[in-house]
Amino acid sequence: MSEILTRITLPGQRVFSGLMDWGTKSTEEMIKEARKYSAYLRAQSDEIDRALYKEFQIDVIRGSVAERHVREVQRSSRKEIK
């Protein structure tokens, strides 16, 4: 038997493909999670918009699933976050 999940989507939205969570969740819980995810994406978008050209790491790779590094085009000036 398959697991029960609750899915939330916003019909007509081209970027947000939706979210799922295990179990049966309420409308309020799912909307809260969708908005939490939206805030996360907004923060990522803002960081990309603020970044200087030299902060971006650019690499040429082979394969979209099993990636193999081909060459580095630009090394990021940012320190690695661990």
pLDDT in tens, 36-54: 999 999 999 999 999 999 9
Query: How far is it, in rounded angstroms, from Cα 45 to Cα 49?
Result: 6
Domain count, the chain: 2
Note whether 4 and 27 are same-domain residues.
yes
Residue 74 confidence (pLDDT): 87
Q: What pTM was estimated for this model as a whole?
A: 0.66
Residue 22 confidence (pLDDT): 94
For residue 60, what are the β-bridge partners?
71
Low-confidence ranges of the chain (pLDDT < 70): 1, 81-82
DSSP code of residue 56 = -
Note whether 4 and 36 are same-domain residues.
yes
Note whether 58 and 79 are same-domain residues.
yes
Note whether 66 and 42 are same-domain residues.
no
Note whether 32 and 64 are same-domain residues.
no
Note whether 56 and 46 are same-domain residues.
no
Query: How far is it, in rounded angstroms, from Cα 24 to Cα 5?
Result: 6
Residue 14 confidence (pLDDT): 80
